[in-house]
Amino acid sequence: MTTSAATRLLQDTRYLPYLPLIYIAWADGELTDEELASIRLLAATRLAPGIDNEPVLASWLDPSEPPSATSLLRLLERIQTLAARVPEQERSTLARFGAALARVGDGELLPSVERALAELEDALGVVSAEAVSAILNDSSPAKPSPAKAPARSFDVGTMTRTLDGRDHAARNHIRDLLAEPLFRHQYPRSTARYREQVWTWLARLAEAGVGALAYPEVTGAAPDLGAFIASFEALSDFDLSLVVKTGVQFGLFGGALYFLGTARHRELLPRVATAALPGCFAMTETGHGSNVRALETTATFDQDADAWIINTPSDAGRKDYIGNAACHARVAVVFAQLHIADVSYGVHAFLVPIRGDDGQPAPGVSIEDCGEKMGLSGVDNGRLRFADVRVPRDNLLDRYASVSRRGEYSSPIPSADRRFFTMIGTLVAGRVSVACGGVAAARVALTVAIRYATRRRQFGPADGHEVPILDYQTHQLRLMPALAAAYALTFALRDLTARYLARDESTAREVETRAAALKAAATWYATATIQRCRECCGGAGYLAVNRFTALKADTDVFTTFEGDNTVLMQLAAKGLLSEYKAQLGSTRITSILRHLVARASAGVKELDPVSSRLRSAAHLRDPDVQQELLDHRYDRLLWSVADRLRRQITGGVDSFTAMNSCQQELVHLASAYAEREVLACFRSAIEGVRDPEVQRALELLRSLYALERIDDDAAWFLSAGVVEASKARAIHREVVTLCAELTPLAPRLVDAFAIPETALDAPIARRERG
């Protein structure tokens, strides 16, 4: 384009009506051939005679010589200078705006030209109001959008107490401790320094009585394991290395003494509770993780010495990943195969000193630091080997089995299988605690991401106002379902904790099944949610000070800690297939064939065929409808897996092979079980709420949790004929709608997590003042 043509367009008032269209035509990029042809044709046939003799318009519309950036900027300045005199009502379309420019600029405007402008505008396919707004604001810096009126909401304190449940006081005790100056994150930090810092924090918790909560020998009162689990969870708001270290010292080590030992072992608990006796829990071996029965470490009774001889027979049998072992532990609870003469009595627990008072390894004990890890760098994980380590006979934790001076083995539980599962079952608290800790970490991530999303503004409508990124639908769809799941899982884990505390012989197996499924579901959820929240914070989420570095690294192991999640889901599914879970534990399922056949022959209740097509919001948000869909999926999957196993086994396939061929279905079954139980617990929690605004918010969260879970498994619901395609689409639309409805409540919903500001300590999530 020639300099003359550029100057002529800006100076000749006869071109004023065309300026907005020409600018918009070039502003978003090069003209397409179709757009150019339309504009050229209209310009050539509808212009007043003589206006374009040079030709100026043709030069501005030549794709081979587009206007320079300077020419386009001068064009915009010319328009904006005149626009200050154009009334607001004349800015509704580019054609009207161009005509108004001609009038205020003393230009020439014929009726035929105004009609031609309207046709040009239509040919370009622009959105008139946005196009005019873009012109008038293009040179101005973006402005923040006006503050929105606060949404109808709820009392945050009431919501916090609802979430906290019966152990609200214990959680508040931890929150108060975390507000102390001692508890602060430090960056950067070396592994050695971090480990010592975590030990200092743990000592403060012990001093404050946290370690004594579950030991009546220390408090002189009834044990309050629920308060201990609540404290463990509340610590997750701050530092997960401290959480794990606390769990090892007071939960696993102290818990083993309390649950597996007898009076002489419990005498040690006051020293455990004050951290005067640091200990560790040595179960896992390099070659044997979840398969506790196959542990190789041996404890052989020496009758002459009235002692146990502890040995590590191979590299695969060394104790591995043992928390507290590399630096601080003085004593270990060691799980080993108990041998008397030539008879093996299976896995039992023994109290074995591993360090002397000087901190050096005890005779026959080799201690190795596991070294740097992906996360939890404040936990000193180590490896232990034993070479003819001798401990007194009384060091057997003998609540469920004892050995006399003469080497006579006795147990109040005759069955070896039942004895093993009873012993392991006392440790279910570990899975409950890890699940609670994982969800707590996800709540921290959500708090950071949602607070950030309400403040971080980016892009916006053409009027120049930038909007909070939480206003974007995709952002809502990334965060709101995770927020709903955080509430749902929190209530489910409160219920699981209560069931664990109230368990007896008749309910123990069901609690173990529930704990296995929920631990897996909760920690998988935590891993996915923390990653999603990190992404939602962009580059700011990549900075260590904003917590995601530690949250991601530290929680990753939760998916395998206290049992690999996939294995736990299979374990839960086996428990669901029969009330005789102990028989399934070794995959010997022929004994429950009658049960499976009965289940298969009974069939599964079919849903109302009309219901598969209903798609109104009232129908989809009905809690009974949501529960029925999740229950039906669980029942169908249970029947399907049971029937498949029955057919294989009756066809001659051995039970191990049959079970192995169904692993994928077993995991799906356990996941379906977890989700239906989570929803049931959420509903039960809402029923106990009296505050109408809190109840309303929880009902929105409950509907979003349930419908998003159904939407996530839409392939199964469609293939099984449970819902029709139109209903599946309606469910997805309702998920989108619920996300939008919950967004205004989201800041208060994360505030209700009651994470202390000093514990959260993420610059992008600090409360706004004023």
Q: What is the mean pLDDT of residues 494-499?
A: 96
- Asked if 684 and 628 count as a contact pair (C-beta separation under 8 A), the reply is no
Encode pLDDT of 154-213 as tens digits: 999 999 999 999 999 999 999 999 999 999 988 888 999 999 999 999 999 999 999 888
pLDDT at residue 55 greater than cutoff 50? yes
What value, to the nearest 5°, has the Cα angle with vertex 450 and ends 444 and 454? 150
Beta bridge partners of 282: 334
Name which residue leads in pLDDT, 433 or 102. 433
> pLDDT class for 556, splitting at 50, 70, 90?
very high
pLDDT tens-digit readout, 608-667:
655 667 889 999 999 999 999 999 999 999 888 888 888 888 888 888 888 888 899 999
- Name the residue with tokens 């083995």: 409
| Tokens standing for residue 627 | 């529960």
Res 673 pLDDT > 80: yes
The amino acid sitting at 126 is: V
If you average pLDDT over each of 1-15, 108-122, 148-162, 477-491, which comes out highest? 477-491
| Range of lowest pLDDT (68-72, 298-302, 332-336) | 68-72
Query: Distance between CA 344 and CA 341 in Å, rounded?
Result: 8
320 has a pLDDT exceeding 70: yes
For 549-580, letters b (16+ CB in 10 Å) and e give: bbbbbbbbbbbbbbbebbbbbbbbbbbbbbeb
Is the pLDDT at 48 greater than 50, yes or no? no
Quote the pTM value: 0.82
Whole-number pLDDT of residue 391: 97
Instruction: Give the pLDDT confidence score for residue 159 in this predicted structure.
Output: 97
Instruction: Report the percentage of the chain scoring pLDDT > 90.
Output: 59
Which SS3 state, helix, strand or coil, does residue 262 take? coil
Is the pLDDT assigned to residue 123 strictly greater than 90? no
Mean pLDDT of 323-335: 97
Is it the case that residue 377 has pLDDT exceeding 80? yes
Residues 331, 352: Cα–Cα separation, whole Å? 6
φ and ψ at residue 532, rounded to 5 degrees = -65, -40
Q: How far is CA 758 from CA 164, 179, 183, 459, 554, in A?
A: 20, 6, 8, 32, 19
Structure confidence at residue 419 as a pLDDT band (50, 70, 90): confident
**Tokens 């607001």 identify what position?**
88
Q: Do 247 and 233 form a contact (C-beta atoms < 8 A)?
A: no
Give the other-Cβ count within 10 Å of 436's Cβ: 26
Q: Does residue 594 register a pLDDT over 90?
A: no
Residue 589 has pLDDT above 60, yes or no: no
Q: How far apart are CA 14 and CA 109, in angstroms?
A: 7
Mean pLDDT value of segment 686-706: 97
Burial class (CB in 10 A: 0-12, 13-18, 19+), 6: buried
What is the mean pLDDT of the segment spanning 596-614?
A: 56
